[in-house]
């Protein structure tokens, strides 16, 4: 009955058009009334305690770092380096998109912001070169979801806070699967691009120029160093993930202002306001979700879910398969952050009882929710790319399917072979 009250009130509030954050509060109030302990002071106290968390300070700083990176010219130079390196290959702009998406993801960690930046830079180039624009938009959308997996992922920060798992360990465990996602997209693009190459639709590409590559590397080296600074600093223990976010902001501001000269002081207030608006949305959502998380624990819902999943507890692979399918279904209706915030406190006791490595589960859970950004009808990243590329949402959905299927297959490969994540993570630690 308790599960029905929680799920029913949440879905009922969402069906009325209520924003996710307020729907979570409504489900929390419904649980309190059901348990007979309604108290507005408890609601307010849990909301404040939810966001009064040091690791969550990384969220606004990484958001601001992404804004500074785009305004300061770092993103453009990353694209130019990738174009000079592989742009001469037939279909090379697709590989440029994958490389750029991966490098940009390793700086800001926001799928929506990274996708918008790469799409704005590359879609016009790909359209001019004769690429199938919906297919190119689908590729860029798929590349954008590397950001929630590879450090410094904002989604991983939120998961680590809710699940009370080391964010540094989660960051390091996300590097290998993030890289494998990029390679998977490159392999899928190879087969997709061959059809266009055979049809002769693509324009002639410029020959490879070592001089151009060295020139773009010289200009872009400052941008390319930032991911090394962030990940390397956390690896050697020089700073925490939250401190890494501050370092990213200072670095991006200094390079954009004093090295590239594209970041103007008059732009800073608007960039700070933009990052603050996005961060406030995320943090308010976290505050409301942690009220529900506390009540979920009080109502003993995790134990009820564990009982439902008891038939699979002794088989870790089968349990992970069932959970991943469940998350895929939920991801078609909910965005990434709400799914993480709602399901983490419910699923973590199950994972603990089954003896599954929580860091491995965290990476898999975030990866699955990232794939949800590509699945209609919600598909936040799809909507961003559709708007940027001036294509209909239906055409972008048609273009993203090969990449969506290949990333889903990779995720289930991780289910069958957890060592693909655990072994590289142990090396990096």
Residue-wise pLDDT tens digits, 260-291: 889 888 989 999 998 888 788 778 877 877 77
pLDDT at position 204, please? 56
401 found inside a domain: yes
The pLDDT-based confidence of 178 (bands split at 50, 70, 90) is: very high
Percent above pLDDT 90 for the chain: 29
pLDDT at position 318, please? 94
Give me the residue label for tokens 């960051």: 171
Most confident stretch, 213-222, 278-287, 411-420: 411-420
The pLDDT-based confidence of 1 (bands split at 50, 70, 90) is: low
- Higher-pLDDT residue of 32 and 364 is 364
| Residue 104 lies in domain | 39-428
30 found inside a domain: no
pLDDT reading at 354 higher than 70: yes
pLDDT reading at 356 higher than 90: yes
Q: Which two tokens stand for residue 398?
A: 């048609």
Please provide residue 152's backbone torsions phi and psi, each rounded to the nearest 5 degrees: -95, 90
Instruction: Look up the pTM and report it.
Output: 0.85
pLDDT at position 51, please? 74
288 found inside a domain: yes
11 found inside a domain: no
Interval 324-342 mean pLDDT: 84
pLDDT at position 226, please? 86
Q: d(Cα 123, Cα 396) in Å, to the nearest integer?
A: 12
What is the C-alpha end-to-end distance of the chain, expressed in Å? 43
pLDDT at position 199, please? 52
pLDDT at position 375, please? 84
Q: Which two tokens stand for residue 88?
A: 């001469």
270 found inside a domain: yes
Alpha-carbon dihedral 99, 178, 287, 60, rounded to 10 degrees: -40
Interval 65-83 mean pLDDT: 87
pLDDT at position 207, please? 78
Interval 294-323 mean pLDDT: 82
Closest CA to 338 of 15, 118, 23, 3: 23
- Higher-pLDDT residue of 204 and 320 is 320
- Higher-pLDDT residue of 357 and 151 is 357
pLDDT at position 205, please? 63
- Are the C-beta atoms of residues 393 and 382 closer than 8 Å to each other? yes
Number of domains in the chain: 1
Give 228's contacts (C-beta < 8 A, 6+ positions apart).
none
Residue 377, preceding peptide bond in cis (omega within 30° of 0): yes
Mean pLDDT of the chain: 85
Tell me the pLDDT tens digit for each residue of 22-33: 887 888 788 788
Tell me the pLDDT tens digit for each residue of 101-148: 999 888 877 788 788 888 888 888 888 888 888 999 999 999 999 999
Please provide residue 201's backbone torsions phi and psi, each rounded to the nearest 5 degrees: -75, -25
Closest CA to 55 of 175, 168, 178: 168
Q: Out of 48-57, 178-187, 346-355, 362-371, pick the least confident.
A: 48-57
Give 173's contacts (C-beta < 8 A, 6+ positions apart).
359, 360, 362, 363, 421, 422, 424, 425, 428
pLDDT at position 406, please? 96
406 found inside a domain: yes
Please tell me what DSSP assigns to residue 166: -
Q: Out of 292-296, 327-331, 355-359, pick the least confident.
A: 292-296
Cα radius of gyration rounded to whole Å, the chain: 22
Please tell me what DSSP assigns to residue 238: S
Closest CA to 241 of 173, 179, 171: 171
- Are the C-beta atoms of residues 341 and 285 closer than 8 Å to each other? yes
Buried b (16+ CB within 10 A) or exposed e, 108-125: bbbbbbbbbbbbebbbeb
pLDDT reading at 57 higher than 90: no
Longest dimension (CA), the chain: 73
Q: What's the sign of the alpha-carbon dihedral 203, 209, 213, 216? A: negative
Most confident stretch, 115-129, 186-200, 301-315: 115-129
91 sits in the region (left: phi over 0; alpha: psi -120 to 50; else beta) called left
374 found inside a domain: yes
Interval 151-173 mean pLDDT: 90
In the three-class reduction of DSSP (H, G, I as helix; E, B as strand; rest coil), residue 240 is classed as coil
81 found inside a domain: yes
Give 427's contacts (C-beta < 8 A, 6+ positions apart).
none
Q: How many CB atoms lie within 10 A of CB 137?
A: 32
């Amino acid at each position: 009955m308790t599960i029905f009250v929680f799920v029913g009130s949440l879905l009922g509030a969402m069906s009325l058009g209520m924003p996710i954050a307020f729907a979570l509060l409504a489900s929390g109030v419904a649980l309190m009334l059901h348990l007979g302990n309604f108290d507005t002071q408890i609601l307010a106290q849990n909301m404040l305690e939810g966001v009064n968390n040091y690791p969550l300070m990384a969220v606004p700083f990484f958001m601001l770092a992404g804004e500074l990176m785009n305004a300061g010219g770092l993103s453009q130079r990353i694209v130019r380096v990738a174009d000079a390196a592989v742009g001469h290959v037939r279909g090379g702009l697709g590989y440029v998109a994958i490389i750029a998406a991966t490098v940009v993801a390793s700086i800001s960690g926001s799928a929506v912001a990274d996708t918008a930046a790469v799409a704005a830079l590359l879609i016009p180039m790909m359209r001019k070169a004769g690429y199938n624009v919906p297919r190119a938009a689908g590729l860029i959308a798929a590349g954008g979801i590397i950001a929630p997996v590879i450090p410094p992922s904002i989604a991983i920060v939120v998961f680590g806070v809710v699940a009370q798992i080391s964010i540094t360990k989660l960051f390091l465990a996300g590097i290998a699967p993030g890289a494998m996602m990029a390679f998977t997209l490159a392999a899928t693009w190879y087969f997709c691009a061959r059809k266009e190459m055979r049809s002769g639709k693509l324009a002639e590409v410029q020959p490879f120029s070592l001089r151009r590559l060295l020139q773009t590397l010289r200009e872009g080296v400052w941008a390319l160093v930032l991911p090394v600074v962030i990940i390397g600093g956390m690896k050697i223990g020089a700073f925490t993930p939250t401190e890494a976010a501050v370092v990213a902001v200072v670095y991006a501001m200094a390079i954009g202002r004093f090295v590239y000269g594209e970041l103007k002081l008059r732009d800073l207030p608007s960039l700070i306001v933009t990052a603050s608006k996005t961060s406030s949305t995320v943090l308010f959502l976290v505050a409301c979700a942690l009220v529900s998380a506390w009540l979920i624990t009080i109502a003993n819902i995790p134990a009820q879910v564990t009982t439902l999943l008891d038939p699979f507890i002794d088989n870790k692979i089968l349990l992970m398969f069932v959970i991943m399918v469940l998350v895929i279904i939920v991801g078609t209706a909910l965005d990434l952050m709400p799914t993480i915030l709602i399901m983490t406190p419910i699923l973590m006791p199950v994972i603990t009882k089954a003896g599954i490595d929580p860091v491995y589960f965290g990476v898999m859970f975030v990866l699955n929710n990232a794939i949800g950004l590509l699945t209609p009808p919600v598909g936040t990243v799809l909507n961003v790319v559709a708007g940027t590329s001036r294509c209909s949402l239906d055409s972008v959905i048609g273009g993203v399917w090969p990449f969506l299927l290949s990333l889903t297959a990779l995720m289930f490969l991780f289910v069958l072979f957890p060592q693909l994540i655990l072994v590289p993570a142990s090396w990096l630690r």
